[in-house]
Amino acid sequence: MVKRRTLIGAGLYAAVAGTSVVLPRLIRNGPWRFFTVEEALTVDAICEQLIPADRDPGARQARAVHFIDIQLTKHFKRYQRIYRQGIASVDASSRAKFSKRLVELTPEQQTEVLADIEEKSEAFFELILTHTRQGFYGDPRHGGNRDRVGWKMIGFPGPSHPEGYRPPFGWYDENIPDEFETEKKQGK
C-alpha cells in the first residue's frame, strides 16, 4: 500500500511539474509555437493579402499562418530571425504610414504597406510569400491547407484520397498470367 501511495504521489508531482512548465508558454503565446499573439495576427493579415479569399477560400481559411508557425520551430528554424525582423519592419512601416498596426488597417492600406515592404525588405517578402504558398497548397499534415482548400481549388484529390492508392496499371495487367504460375500449381 505504501508503494502505491508513493507511485501516485510521484505521478501527481510529475503531472503538476509538467503543467507548470507548459502553462506559461500557453498563456504567453496561446496556441502559437513560435509567434507571439501579435506576430501571429500580423502574419495572418499578410498571408490573407497574399492569397485573399474570393470565390474560393484564402490563406486565412487554409490556416497558412499555422503552417508557418509550426515550421518555424522545425524545418524553417534558420528563418526565425528574418521573421522577427520582418514582422517588426511591417508594423513599423504601417505605423509610420498610417499610425496603426497592419492588422488595424483596411485591406487597401495593408496592400500599400506590403508594397513598401516588397521593395524595402525583398528577402522577407519573398520568404513569407513562398511559405504562404506552401501553407496554402501543401499537405495538410504539416499544419496548413485546412480542409484541403488549396487542393480543392486546383482540383487535386491529394495523396489521402478516400479511394486510397491505385497502382498505375490498367485492367489488362491484372489478367496477365504470372510466368511462375504453372510452377506454383505444380508445387515447385
What is the spatial distance between Cα 147 and Cα 161, in angstroms, rounded to a whole number? 13
Record the cell numbers describing residue 97, joined without a space. Answer: 504610414
What per-residue confidence (pLDDT) applies to 30?
77
In a 10 Å sphere around its CB, with 0-12 CB exposed, 13-18 middle and 19+ buried, how is residue 112 labelled? middle
Instruction: Please give the single-letter amino acid code of residue 83.
Output: Y
Q: pLDDT tens digit string along 91-149?
A: 999 999 999 999 999 999 999 999 999 999 999 999 999 999 999 999 888 899 899 99
Q: Rg of the chain over CA atoms, in angstroms?
A: 25
SS3 (DSSP) at 164: coil
Q: How confident is the model at residue 15 (pLDDT cuts 50, 70, 90)?
A: very low
What per-residue confidence (pLDDT) applies to 91?
95
Q: How confident is the model at residue 28 (pLDDT cuts 50, 70, 90)?
A: low
In a 10 Å sphere around its CB, with 0-12 CB exposed, 13-18 middle and 19+ buried, how is residue 129 labelled? middle
What per-residue confidence (pLDDT) applies to 158?
75
Q: pLDDT tens digit string along 165-174?
A: 555 555 555 5
What per-residue confidence (pLDDT) applies to 14?
46
Mean pLDDT, the chain, as a whole number? 80
Kindly state the average pLDDT of the residues 3-30.
Answer: 49
Q: Is the pLDDT of residue 156 over 90?
A: no
Cβ-based neighbours of 109, under 8 Å, separated by 6 or more: 94, 97, 98
Record the cell numbers describing residue 161, joined without a space. Answer: 484520397
What per-residue confidence (pLDDT) applies to 188?
53
What per-residue confidence (pLDDT) applies to 142?
87
CA nearest to 120, candidates 163, 85, 160: 85
